[in-house]
Chains A and B, each alone.
Chain A
Amino acid sequence: MKGKNLLKKNEFYIVIIIAVLACIIQAISGQFFTSNNLVDLLRSMIVPGMMAAGLFMVIVSGNIDVSFPYTAMLCMFAVTKWFSVINYQGPVFLAFLIAGLIGLVLGLLNGVLAAWLKLPTLIITLGTCTIFLGITQGVLQSSVISVLPAPMAKMAATNLFSVVNGETGLGSSMPVSILFLIAIYLIVGFIMKYTMLGRGIYAVGGDPVAAERAGFNVNFIRIFVFTFMGVVGGITGITQVTVSGMCQINFFDGYEMTIIAAVVLGGANIAGGSGTVIGTFLGVLLMKMISNNLILLGIPTNWSKFMTGILIIAGVSMSAYKSVLAKRRVASNILEDGHKEEA
């Protein structure tokens, strides 16, 4: 029974794909299971991973958000620029707090519009993301900030640990913000599994009318998931700065699509109602493995997008094809049932 359940779980298959892929890369290049490669991989997962955790909630609730990269961008520039101008010297914590608060306001805007207008949230967030981009470009006049305020620069220079690959001499360091990634997955995991709010998110994603009749506050849940996404977006913006040591307007280009893809690849139903936070983590891991390690396979990095696209289509179509087949077949055996009854 236990084994059967495992086979039913989507995560099981992603783990297998990840394992197979890791072995292939290792076999061809001999460079996958090296300390610096693994640290690099985890490091590259921090920002997309955090965003995916927030988006996972939005998707389970049956909504979609494409504005979060722009939330992150706006918060990143707003806080970095402001701190530069006032020559801020206090604790770096405040940068995350303020970015989180700005993100909260932007997310709240998405959530309230979604709850109030009852429009498809793709349309709403397409609108707001353009506004966020407009603010970043117009009001903040931002494209690049190469000198960070002191506290942020200090965090960017601090690492948990560093590793050096003995063979190649290549080194890699683990930023402190990996702890944020871990914290966010724990928080989202806890909310989704052990709080009524989390179960409400699943319920709304499954059937919003039924959720309302059961007594869930559907509008609150909708507002919550977008606000949470906003906060995560804001914090992620500053995290990105401290990982890369600078601000650039194109940091998050195309993130809305790749992160949606990672969440869906991780087994969440794009129509809402199902998925797990572990699956989401694995989805991001798989995505990053492809885009980081293609070079090890001898595939030029220019082709990484192409390969990622192929992976998404392949991953998603497997489950879709299963349900198409199921529709063309009679599921339960009417004929055999008959024999049983006659017997």
Chain B
Amino acid sequence: MSEILLQAKQISKHFGGVTALDRVDLTIKKGEIHCLMGENGCGKSTLIKIISGFYRPDGGSITFEGKEYDRLSIAESIGLGIQVIYQDMSIFPNLTVAENIAINNELYNRRKLVNWKAVKSIAKEALDHIGIELPLEAVVGELSVADKQLIAIARAILNNSKLIIMDEPTSALTRKEVDKLFKVIRQLQQEGISTLFVSHKLDEVFEIADQFTVFRNGKLVVADSAKNINDEQFVYYMTGRKLEEVAFTPKKIDHDRAILKVENLGLTNGFANISFEIHPGEILGITGLLGSGRTELAKTLFGLYSATEGHIYIDGREVQIRTPMDAIRHKIAYVPEDRLTEGLFLTQSIENNMIVSNIDRLKTGKKTVDYEKGHEDSLAWVKNLGIKLNELKDGIQTLSGGNQQKVVLGKWLETEPRVLILNGPTVGVDIAAKFDIHAYLRTLAEKMNLAILLISDDISEVLNNCNRILIIKNGRIVSEHVNTELDQHRLQELVTGSKEETA
């Protein structure tokens, strides 16, 4: 256990004038599960790319199994037994499970022809090795994210791997799937394979890691045993600030009035008998596991699915919501789960992304767009939300995750919504930006009398920001709680229903 597998010493990397990594160290022992953490842009993915040979470091050295290298090439890195599983998993959606698993191995052995029998037996062996059963002939595009993740792992262990690097592997997994993944990682550990696990979720660090390393702004902040860290320290290490949130308790709620009221709402295969009200000044939280129907509910309220049963009322009047256009007309705004595919036009500028939802309101008498007004509005939101940017005409992709999310929020607020639905609003968002967004939501609820529906699987987010919390399970609301009556542990228990499962 104590033998050192990989030691990166004093690694530096610059891009143009920007320092991505400033003399950082990373030490991974044999058979160790090591967690690498930090905010977006802290340099963790740069270091991974240096270890895997995609980037050439500007300074420092990498020692692997006692041998020192100034730099590694991709082929060298793979040859040493280093395998990276990227966030997108680099899986071929159009090919079968068997081929996806075996293809790297076939390439590595420089085969020219495909032996389909060998492909199948290699794949079967790899899956058996990690104790997973998947249909070999299934096309991968039709499988779940978790299955894809497992395929990527099965593929990674084929070439006599010694170190497997996983870049945020749990971000799209359900709790059950995370358990399955962790089981596989521990099994690899038994065989002496080390895992470098990139994550920003603290509970996972406690659960799986032996050691952890935190980067901030390209510098090493701390490297220690996972036993020696707690919640507060963690936030401090990551952000360099002491940030604390107190539970949201609205001062006045008008219980006689409901801005949004949902009655017995149902969607075939999605959810059933959903009823709730949101009163002015409230933030209502809905939380549940991935696949509990929470996203389907959000999408239905915004018209992306049309409900097959039940009624929706806004300010006491029943409304029909069949398309997003209906929803926008009834002043409903939706900050979606995946801002990259659902919330933003990635090839467009920041400003175009800001004004797109209001394009109708920017119409002039001659049916052309009043860009000047759009520009003024955009500037106002940049200021209000504290979006950090160079220029509004820069591409949206130049912004960090947190600032992108603020743009999504801003563009919807500009439509002056009555109902604001947020689905996982701070996934992949820096802690600091996360706190900003939360603070802004509270202001909106208190001052603007918006009905805010916050759907999230981030327990502390829901607990701190929602005065009432509904728990959704298997497409049904199972209980309702007031936030001040719960703590994190209890809420987590309610969501996962761990008591039921063990019973």
Contacts and interface: CB of A to CB of B under 8 A. Distances in A.
A207 B91 contact: yes
A202 B95 contact: yes
B106 A335 contact: no
B296 interface: yes
A147 interface: no
A337 interface: yes
A16 B381 CA distance: 58
Contacts of B104: 214-215
B476 A338 contact: yes
A274 B88 CA distance: 20
B306 to A, nearest CB: 8
B101 to A, nearest CB: 11
Contacts of B292: 334
Interface stretch (A51-59, A126-134, A193-201): A193-201
Contacts of A206: 92-95
Interface residues of B, number: 38
B269 A333 contact: yes
Given A199-B99, A202-B95, A330-B267, A213 B90 contact: yes
B112 A195 contact: yes
Contacts, number: 102
Contacts of B74: 215
Contact of B103 (A214, A334, A335, A337): A214
Interface in A175-219: 193-199, 202-203, 205-207, 209-211, 213-216
A216 B269 contact: no
B126 to A, nearest CB: 15
A49 B91 CA distance: 33
Given A193-B114, A199-B114, A213-B86, A334 B474 contact: yes
Contact of A332 (B99, B269, B272, B473): B269
Interface string A260-285: 00000000010001100000000000
Given A334-B293, A338-B473, A211 B92 contact: yes
A337 B144 CA distance: 15
B296 A196 contact: no
Given A334-B291, A335-B475, A195 B269 contact: no
A273 B93 contact: yes
Interface residues of A, number: 36
Contact of A216 (B99, B107, B473): B107
Contacts of A214: 90, 103-104, 107
Interface string A307-336: 000000000000000000000111111111
B269 A334 contact: yes
Given A196-B114, A338-B475, A330 B305 contact: yes
A167 interface: no
B228 to A, nearest CB: 36
B271 interface: yes
B236 interface: no
Contact of A329 (B89, B111, B268): B268
B69 interface: no
Contact of A207 (B93, B99, B268, B475): B93
Contact of B106 (A196, A328, A334, A341): A196
Nearest to B102: A199
A195 B78 CA distance: 23
B107 to A, nearest CB: 5
14 contacts: A195-B112, A195-B114, A203-B103, A206-B94, A206-B95, A210-B88, A210-B89, A214-B104, A328-B305, A330-B268, A330-B270, A332-B291, A334-B296, A339-B474
Interface of B: 74-75, 78, 86, 88-95, 99, 103-104, 106-108, 111-114, 267-272, 291-293, 296, 305-306, 473-476
Interface of A: 193-199, 202-203, 205-207, 209-211, 213-216, 269, 273-274, 328-339, 341-342
Given A195-B113, A207-B91, A334-B474, 8 more contacts: A202-B92, A206-B95, A210-B90, A215-B108, A334-B291, A335-B271, A337-B474, A342-B474
